[in-house]
Amino acid sequence: HSATKFIAGHSDVVAGLAATKDEKLAEQLGFLQNSFGSILGAHDCWLVLRGLKTLHCRMTQSSASAVKIAENLSDHPLVEQVYYPGFRFHPGSSTQTYQAQGSGAVLSFRLRDEEAVRQFTKHVELPVYAVSLGAVESILSYPARMSHASMPKEEREKRGITDGLLRLSVGLENPDDLIKDFHQALGKTESEAFLQTGG
């Protein structure tokens, strides 16, 4: 597992973990860790353990907020598409239901183009604009220019990673505050577009 994301959950540690209920395998893993010595520092371990204690509460709250935000964004005229496995019509919906209890805290949505993304990210105030996900703060990322920037454009488009796509990892803020923030940013995006096309 990556412990960097939801498990630690506070954007302050980079860590991975292997879990097994096979005692023999656990012993072998422990032996390797002990012999190589390339293990996580004590403070990082403490941060992961501390985050783990609230994992369930954080996931429950963030997923509930994500549902609300996904539904709300779907109704906005400037949002062309919302991708969220909690939607029954999402192609990954049955996989999500099979693998997990909730619908998760991560969604993405598509605006018209890069310019719309530029305006929106300029005006949005609450989420952090960064590559990461799975933390107490909401994190907005722009895959075409961040995580998938090194992928050729045609390949990105084939996978739906268009220039208008934004990914949102929902944190623990009040979802109504986030929705309000998105609406004011979308409102400004709309008026900029209106000005640019000369009305």
Ligand X SMILES: *Cc1c(COP(=O)(O)O)cnc(C)c1O
Distances from the Cα of 77 to the Cα of 73, 126, 170, 189, angstroms: 9, 21, 21, 12
Tell whether residue 14 is a contact of ligand X (CB under 6 A).
Answer: yes
From 2, 60, 74, 94, residue interacting with ligand X (rule: CB under 6 A): 2
Q: Does 25 interact with ligand X (rule: CB under 6 A)?
A: no
Nearest distance from residue 112's CB to ligand X, in Å? Answer: 27
Q: Which residues pair with 165 in a beta bridge?
A: 110
Q: Which residue of 54, 93, 96, 132 would you call a contact of ligand X, by CB under 6 A?
A: 132
Q: How far is the CB of 131 from ligand X (least distance, A)?
A: 5
Q: Does 16 bind ligand X (CB under 6 A)?
A: yes
Nearer residue to ligand X within complex by CB, 14 or 100: 14
131 binds ligand X (CB under 6 A): yes
Least distance (Å) from ligand X to the CB of residue 1?
Answer: 8
Nearer to ligand X, 2 or 95 (CB): 2
Question: Minimum distance from CB of 141 to ligand X (Å)?
Answer: 9
- 26 near ligand X, rule: CB under 6 A: no
Q: Is 39 in the site for ligand X (CB under 6 A)?
A: no
Radius of gyration for the chain, computed over Cα atoms and rounded to the nearest angstrom = 19
Least distance CB 102 / ligand X (angstroms)? 20
Contacts to ligand X by CB under 6 A: 2, 4, 14, 16, 131-132
